[in-house]
Amino acid sequence: LGYLASVAATFGRVSSPLAAGVIVISGIAGVSPIEVIKRSAPVQICTLTFLFLISLRKLLSAMSGRSEA
């Protein structure tokens, strides 16, 4: 589950309106950085949820003693 914290921290840094990539993308698109973040946040939340569910499945299968192929 440690990598989930790393991914969440990366999403947090990338989602900042002051991040260079967000400023460049919003400048090219001609919208505010907040609008860029509003559009990318749902995708990031879905990705983090999916990764959490995969980790939970692997953790539960390891705890039960099953090996996962």
CA distances from 28 to 21, 23, 31, 35, 56 (A): 11, 9, 8, 13, 39
For residues 47 and 12, the model is more confident at: 47
Convert the pLDDT of each residue in 17-55 to its tens digit: 788 888 999 999 999 999 998 998 899 899 989 989 998
Confidence at residue 1, expressed as pLDDT on a 0 to 100 scale: 62
Predicted model pTM: 0.67
